[in-house]
Structures are given as C-alpha cells and as structure tokens.
Amino acid sequence: RNLQIATAAVDSTGMCLFVAFAILDIPDGFNALVDMINARYNLSLTGDDVVALGKTILKAERDFNARAGFTNAHDRLPEFFEEKCPPHNTTWDFTDEEIDEVFNF
C-alpha cells in the first residue's frame, strides 16, 4: 500500500517512475523531491503532505473508476495469480477482503 501511495505522489510530479525507488529507499532523495516541489510551486509542503497527496490521487482515481461503473468485483487479479509459481510453487494468497482494505486510508 505504501509503495502505491508513494508512486502516485511521485507520478503526479511528472518525474519518471524510475526515480521512485531512489526516492523511496533514500530519505535524502525523498526530502529532495519535497524540496523540488516546494521550490517549483512556492509551497511549504512536508513529507507527510506529499504522502497525503498520493492518497488523494488514489482516492480520486477510485472515484473516477466508480463513476465509470467499476466495482470491487473489477478490482481483482487475473486467475493466473492462483497458479503455482515454480520453483517454490507459491501462489497469490490474499483474500478479496484484504485487497479491499488496501485503499482504506
């Protein structure tokens, strides 16, 4: 969930998604992103504000999808996620309820 929130925030800046991992894995990188946003738009955002921005974006996307007729039934992974994946034969083991909780923030 945190990666999705952060990715939405980074994506909204227009920066390439490839910088997301550096920004998320290196605290100074994240702080630099916040500083760039503040400098560009003459703001005084904090890191928490940028995280809130990511959440707002995800909520807006879900609202758009709901207005377009999509429901939780459409928000599921394809059946091939249930196929065993060698060599460990692991499968997707999250319930629909757990998937629905991802966006409860």
Which pLDDT belongs to residue 16? Answer: 77
CA distance 55 to 73: 22
Q: What is the pLDDT of residues 25-54, one digit of tens each?
A: 888 988 998 999 999 999 999 999 999 999
Residue 65 main-chain phi, psi, to 5 deg: -60, -40
The predicted pLDDT at position 6 comes to 85
CA separation for the pair 13, 90 (Å, rounded): 36
pLDDT of 91 strictly over 80: yes
Q: pTM score > 0.85 for this model?
A: no
